[in-house]
């Protein structure tokens, strides 16, 4: 599977399914062991997370939230607006899938940059970093979800370390993103 994926023979999802069938077909793993290995609680959480993301996208709730917050601070300048965009991305990522947040907020970031007359790259980077900084809940990122089930953690375990880490990264990103991606490219 890994070799075929490296050479792009088929999409990785198809290759994973073929590999799973192969492992069961060759009796390396029997059906009962395979069924027992599935973390149903995690699978249900992922389905619920995808549904919530789709609902927020279809109802326009995520767009409304992000647009309202950024519209309220746009007059403070690009640095504060960038910081708020990062914060909105990281907070929404704790509630719905990071991919859904990136899809919803990136176009808004581009619109805000165009309205302010600055380069859109720092805003896009802020959204992407904010979407990747999902540490306070097990539902914002797939890795958190996997660790949540496999490690036997409780939901309340994530904010203890994750929330302070999110705050630290928000401050660091708000300071350093404009340094590496200036609002006015040179």
Q: pLDDT tens digit string along 11-31?
A: 988 998 899 899 889 988 888
> Is there a domain that residue 186 lies in?
no
> Is there a domain that residue 185 lies in?
no
* Same domain flag for 34 and 54: no
Domain encompassing residue 156: 39-180
Q: In the predicted model, what is the mean pLDDT of residues 148-153?
A: 79
* Same domain flag for 45 and 30: no
Q: In percent, how much of the chain has pLDDT > 90? A: 29
**pTM across the whole model:** 0.66
Q: pLDDT tens digit string along 25-64?
A: 998 888 888 888 777 776 776 677 667 667 766 787 766 7
> Is there a domain that residue 174 lies in?
yes
Q: How many domains does the chain have?
A: 2
* Same domain flag for 139 and 51: yes
* Same domain flag for 32 and 115: no
Residue 1 has pLDDT above 90, yes or no: no
Quote the CA–CA distance of 81 and 123 in Å, as a whole number.
9
């Amino acid at each position: 599977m890994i070799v075929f994926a490296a050479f792009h023979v088929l999409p990785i999802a198809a290759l994973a399914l073929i590999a799973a069938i192969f492992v069961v077909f060759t009796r390396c793993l029997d059906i009962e062991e395979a069924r027992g290995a599935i973390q149903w609680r995690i699978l249900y959480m992922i389905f619920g997370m995808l549904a919530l993301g789709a609902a927020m996208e279809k109802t326009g709730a995520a767009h409304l939230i992000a647009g309202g917050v950024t519209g309220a601070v746009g007059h403070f300048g690009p640095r504060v607006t960038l910081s708020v965009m990062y914060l909105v991305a990281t907070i929404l990522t704790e509630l719905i899938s990071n991919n859904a947040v990136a899809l919803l907020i990136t176009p808004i970031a581009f619109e805000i940059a165009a309205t302010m007359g600055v380069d859109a790259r720092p805003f896009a980077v802020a959204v992407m970093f904010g979407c990747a900084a999902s540490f306070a809940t097990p539902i914002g990122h797939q890795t958190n979800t996997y660790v949540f089930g496999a490690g036997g953690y409780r939901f309340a375990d994530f904010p203890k370390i994750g929330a302070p880490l999110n705050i630290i990264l928000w401050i660091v990103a708000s300071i350093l993103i404009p340094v590496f991606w200036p609002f006015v490219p040179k």
